[in-house]
Structure 1
Amino acid sequence: MPSTESTNPRIDYGAFQDIVPEMGTGMAAISHALRKSGIEPDLLEMLKIRVSQLNGCAFCVQYHLNDARKLNVPAAKLDLLAAWREAGIYSAREAAALDWTERVTLLANHHIDDESHTHVSAHFSEREIAFLTTAIGQINFWNRVAAPLRFAPPIPAGS
């Protein structure tokens, strides 16, 4: 039986920002820290897209695709994120970050074992792992706001 469920926004993104301005301020502070972290901006965008794919958040997928394109992330890397393990185009560092991203995002499905931490530690310093995990937590939070409230995806002009 077809769903009668609407895809219309439940709360407009702008209205949400007006209702809870403190969240925007807090998230901006985290984003500022991530920009200063030294982790490659394109890698941070790819992990935000991957988390948003896993969580089914159309707003965040589109938002971070837009940002990744502005950073000139290769189209193939964006197109193949959902199948990154099989794609063969990601560096060892990118693959380690994407693996960590999935494990942290899907935490309810499994325990993160020492082997997983050892794998990410081979490519990232302790400081970088702290920032990666913060970025993953931040986008998971945004997904848990944007998806249930159905923020409309920010489609670029001309698309």
Structure 2
Amino acid sequence: MTATEYVPIPARLDFDALVPAFARVVNQLDEAATAELDRVGIEPALRELVRLRASQLNGCAYCVDMHARAARRAGVTPQRVDAVAIWADSNLFTAAERAALDFTEQVTLLATTKVPESAVTAAVAAYGEEGAAALLTLVIAINTWNTIGVTTRCWPTAIRRRD
């Protein structure tokens, strides 16, 4: 193998083939979250930033790749996509986006954080109760996908020459 060859990461389980009914339900969960976000008017760009940040925290290579590309397609600048990993130290995010990203981190890391009241309060202040609840559905959905992806590695990250 040369220095320019990518290292293949083998799948552990073919999740979609092994539990197709469950895989369909997870997809329906994601669709339901998207419908709630549509209903409350949360923009696609923010959705992808939330998905990207949760996926970074969970270490899901497939989802990080997919949601970074989706964020750019939704109009997020490459600089902001790159800065999601360090959003708390970046001036590239609005107060409302920062509330959503903090909420995402607190929920994603809930075993450690216990989701402090301040994160929920900030999300409600920025998006209202329905918006905060819709954001929660998105974080639940992406964390479910991340759990599947990290555990099974069933979806390889595609190698692209261009985005």
Name the TM-score, length of structure 1 as normaliser. 0.84
Partner of 1:140: 143
Q: Distance in 2 between matches of 1:36 and 1:93?
A: 18
Alpha-carbon distance, 1:41 to partner: 1.0
Confirm whether residue 8 of structure 1 aligns to residue 14 of structure 2.
Answer: no
Partner of 1:100: 103
Amino acid at match of 1:73: V
> For 1:35-74, what per-residue CA distance to the aligned partner results, in whole angstroms no more than 9, with x for missing partners?
3331111011001000000000001111111211111211
In structure 1, the gaps of 5 or more residues are 1-5
> For 1:86-136, what per-residue CA distance to the aligned partner results, in whole angstroms no more than 9, with x for missing partners?
111100000011011100100000222323322222212000000001100
Q: Distance in 2 between matches of 1:17 and 1:156?
A: 29
Confirm whether residue 79 of structure 1 aligns to residue 62 of structure 2.
Answer: no
Q: Distance in 1 between matches of 2:113 and 2:51?
A: 20
Confirm whether residue 158 of structure 1 aligns to residue 159 of structure 2.
Answer: no
Residues 120-129 or 92-101, more deviating: 120-129
CA contact (8 A) 1:59 1:152 kept: yes
Partner of 1:57: 60
CA contact (8 A) 1:97 1:132 kept: yes
Q: Distance in 1 between matches of 2:118 and 2:35?
A: 31
Q: Distance in 1 between matches of 2:30 and 2:14?
A: 18
Name the TM-score, length of structure 2 as normaliser. 0.82
Partner of 1:3: none
Backbone CA RMSD of aligned residues:
2.3
Alpha-carbon distance, 1:11 to partner: 4.1
Question: SS where residue 68 of structure 2 aligns?
Answer: helix
Residues 123-132 or 14-23, more deviating: 14-23
Q: Distance in 2 between matches of 1:89 and 1:123?
A: 17
Number of residue equivalences: 154
